[in-house]
Amino acid sequence: MLVILNIIIMLLLILGLYMMQRKHLSFSKRVFTGLGLGILFGLGLQWAYGSSSEVVAESSNWFNMVGTSYIRFLQMIVMPLIFISILSAFTKMTLSKNIGKISALIIAVLIGTTAIAAAVGIATSVGFNLEAIQIEQGEAELERGASLEENYTNNVEGLSFPEQIIQLLPANPFLDFTGARSTSTIAVVIFTVFLGIAYLGVRRKEPEKAETFAKIIDSIHAIVMRVVTLILRLTPYGVLAIMTRTVATSDLAAIASLGKFVIASYVALAVMFIIHLILLLVSGLNPITYVKKAFPVLAFAFTSRTSAGALPLNIQTQRKLGVPEGTANFAGSFGLSIGQNGCAGIYPAMLAVMIAPTIGINPLDPGFLLMLIVVVAISSFGVAGVGGGATFAALLVLSALDMPIALAGVLISVEPLIDMGRTAVNVSGSMTAGTLTGKWTKELDESVYNDPNQKLETQEI
């Protein structure tokens, strides 16, 4: 009976969000409303029944029909979205000779900012005096650590660093389209880039065939983006269900005990976001304008915890910042699997510094710090833009530094809380890369960038 009551309350909350959509309230307002309602409802369930009660467990199973379905839909569209966005970037490029330069600049910014993010993570861990030994590992942390160690041992351990790099390459692109491997995302990116380069060769020699191909890609792109829009409309409901379940089933005492780590993580993420703004300022662009225009997509990334799901809004926002369409597609797509500042930069670096003292390594040793930054930057290739990417990045870094990978599970209690901020910084990093590349190649339309009326309209979602 109590479970039925909880389900009815959830349905009423969903109805309330639907009525907000019918009244054409902005997407950001609906998402944040879903976030707030989910937190409040989750706290209410925990207060009424307790986080480990059967009522909460059974209610969460029903809530998962909404939350997990939303995540599955996002995962469903990730590979087609990456594939068609990159191919579309090639077909929309007006000057093929610029593609190599544009790609190199975007990747350089993504990797460079990830190296900076690693340094920020190191400084924050040292400044807050974070050590893994300070964390009391409960049953959940130990189980998570054991699971990570087992899965990693079966899939990656034993491979040399060159062999791990080779794993990024697509031997069977159709297999990678299924997401079967941990490196499937970057493999699909590489395969699609090859197709794009082949298209450019055909366009020079057989323009009529290339034009037909471009029209087909443009049509598929329009359909895939429409599918994405349909999925994005589910975001407020998905966020509501996910946050309700997360808050209701979380051990609040464990989260409170890790408050220092949460605060340190968000300080590092805030510093990295400020660095993005400084890079824009140094390049002659108004960072306040960037913040105003980027807020809707950053809000979506924060609440949904998926860089991949944010790709369409990411690209649209870059267009409102005056970035050429091709460059925006490249930056958004590459940013899903290369150089994620939050997940692949800050998090692995902080974790490595926290673990170092437990195995007798001085975290302030210059040699260790330099090696850590280099490893983090290189390992940032191939991190998926859907939940779990940060953990995979941490496993790669810890393995490369010969650290115990089981300790990657020590922060499981606060993972969802930290992951929201990491995802927003990931998306900001890719948008910054696209904007800076447009500016440096003199293709950025600064009149559009500075026009306050050129902003993302989320009422249509």
CA 17 centroid distance within chain:
25
Q: What is the pLDDT of residues 63-74, one digit of tens each?
A: 989 988 988 888
What integer pLDDT is reported at residue 154 of this predicted model?
Answer: 47
Placement of tokens 């309700």 in the chain: 244
Q: What is the pLDDT of residues 322-381, one digit of tens each?
A: 998 888 888 988 888 787 898 888 988 888 888 888 788 888 888 888 988 988 887 777
Q: How many CA atoms lie within 13 A of 243 on its CB side?
A: 27
Whole-model pTM? 0.83
Which among 189, 235, 179, 249 is positioned nearest to 392, based on CA atoms? 179
CA separation for the pair 233, 236 (Å, rounded): 7
CA 195 centroid distance within chain:
25
Placement of tokens 């809380």 in the chain: 417
CA separation for the pair 430, 337 (Å, rounded): 10
Which among 215, 113, 165, 218 is positioned nearest to 436, based on CA atoms? 113
Alpha carbon separation from 386 to 24, 77, 318 (Å, rounded): 28, 11, 21
Q: In order along the chain (461 residues), what is the average pLDDT of each group of 10 residues?
A: 88 92 84 89 87 84 89 84 84 66 89 92 89 58 50 52 72 83 77 89 88 92 88 89 84 72 92 97 95 90 82 89 88 83 87 84 86 83 59 74 68 76 93 94 91 70 64
CA separation for the pair 91, 185 (Å, rounded): 21
Helices (H) and strands (E) in the chain, counts: 20, 0
Placement of tokens 């991190």 in the chain: 383
- What is the helix (H) or strand (E) element at residue 290, kind and residue range? helix 287-304
297 burial class (0-12, 13-18, 19+ CB within 10 angstroms)? buried
What integer pLDDT is reported at residue 136 of this predicted model?
Answer: 52
What are phi and psi for residue 440, nearest 5 degrees? -70, -30
What integer pLDDT is reported at residue 145 of this predicted model?
Answer: 47
CA separation for the pair 90, 391 (Å, rounded): 32
Classify each residue of 76-90 as buried b or exposed e, where b means 16 or more C-beta atoms within 10 Å of its C-beta: ebbbbbbbbbbbbbb
What integer pLDDT is reported at residue 176 of this predicted model?
Answer: 84
Placement of tokens 């009525």 in the chain: 19
What are phi and psi for residue 24, nearest 5 degrees? 60, 35
Domain ranges of the chain: 2-450
Placement of tokens 């510094």 in the chain: 353
Helix axes 99-127, 366-379, angle to 10 degrees: 140
Classify each residue of 232-243 as buried b or exposed e, where b means 16 or more C-beta atoms within 10 Å of its C-beta: beebbbbbbbbb
End-to-end Cα, the chain, rounded Å: 36
Among left, alpha and beta (phi > 0; psi -120 to 50; other), residue 284 is left
Beta strands in 323-410 (DSSP E): none
Cβ–Cβ under 8 Å, residues 431 and 285 = no
Helix axes 325-334, 54-92, angle to 10 degrees: 140
Q: Which two tokens stand for residue 335?
A: 């940013």
Instruction: Find all residues with CB under 8 Å of 69, minimum gap 6, and list them.
Output: 238
What integer pLDDT is reported at residue 440 of this predicted model?
Answer: 93
Residue type, 114: T
CATH ID of 2-450, from 1.10.3860.10, 3.50.50.60, 1.10.3720.10, 3.40.50.300? 1.10.3860.10
